[in-house]
A = this chain, B = another copy of it.
Amino acid sequence: MGKGDRTKNTKVTDDARAANPIGKRLRQLRKEHDWTLAEVASRTGISVGTLSKLEHGKTDLNFSSVNKLANGLGLPVTDLTNPASSLQGRRAITIGGQGVMFEASDMSYEVLCSDVANHRQGYMKVVVKSHAFDPDLPWHQHKGQEFLYVLSGRLELHTELYQPVQLKAGDSILFDSSMGHHYVSLGRKDAEILISMSLEGYRNVSDALES
């Protein structure tokens, strides 16, 4: 019963395909929730037959079908394709003050935990050196969102679309960083803040900052 005897009576229909994990993932999800193929079919707009073939690795999926599936099931696409793609036990530790330093005219950056590659999010501790808003400076701007937590001092955040906001130690803000923004320290102390920014579309933090 070698795999060589491909009686080509119909199509090739070897089980040899089955490389992609979506099929297994779908079966898993169906068992978990006790869905029938017909239910999934009606929710996703993909035919029952195709779904069955998918689960058995007898067909791959069109990209548009993958999207239909993800949407119909209410999951992000990556959830179908990387059920556990992320490496299992990575970690990176940065002792305070030992991150990768990075100086700009108005800010000092300390990039934290930067030695984990392929991460979606960047983290840094920033000291805001500027104490006055200069309207001539170009906005800071990068794709995605930015989260900011004030560690010490008082901060004024200027943005393109809102009035400036004042934040004190312990306050936090989350905003779309494609909206231009600028930081200013209030009082005589430089404000210290912790930033978490999305890195989607960038290779690393400095790429994002330079964009």
> Which A residues are closer than 8 A to B by beta carbons?
19-20, 22, 60-67, 74-79, 81, 84, 86-97, 112-113, 116, 119-121, 123, 143-145, 147, 149, 151, 159-162, 165, 167-176, 178-179, 194, 196, 198, 200-201, 203
Least CB distance, A189 to chain B, in whole angstroms: 17
| Selected contact of A145 from candidates B121, B161, B165, B175, CB within 8 Å | B121
- Assembly of this chain: how many copies? 2
Distance from A69 Cβ to chain B, minimum over Cβ atoms (Å): 10
A sample of 26 inter-chain contacts (CB < 8 A) reads: A22-B63, A60-B63, A60-B64, A62-B63, A76-B120, A77-B78, A78-B78, A84-B143, A84-B178, A86-B176, A88-B161, A88-B176, A88-B179, A89-B161, A89-B175, A90-B176, A91-B159, A91-B175, A91-B176, A95-B171, A96-B171, A112-B147, A112-B149, A112-B172, A112-B174, A120-B120
Q: Given the complex of chains A and B, what is the CA–CA distance between A84 and B179 in angstroms?
A: 12
| Contact assessment for A174 and B60 in the assembled complex, using a CB-CB cutoff below 8 Å | no
Residues from chain B with a CB closer than 8 A to the CB of A167 are 93
Contacts of A201 in B (CB 8 A): 75-76, 78-79
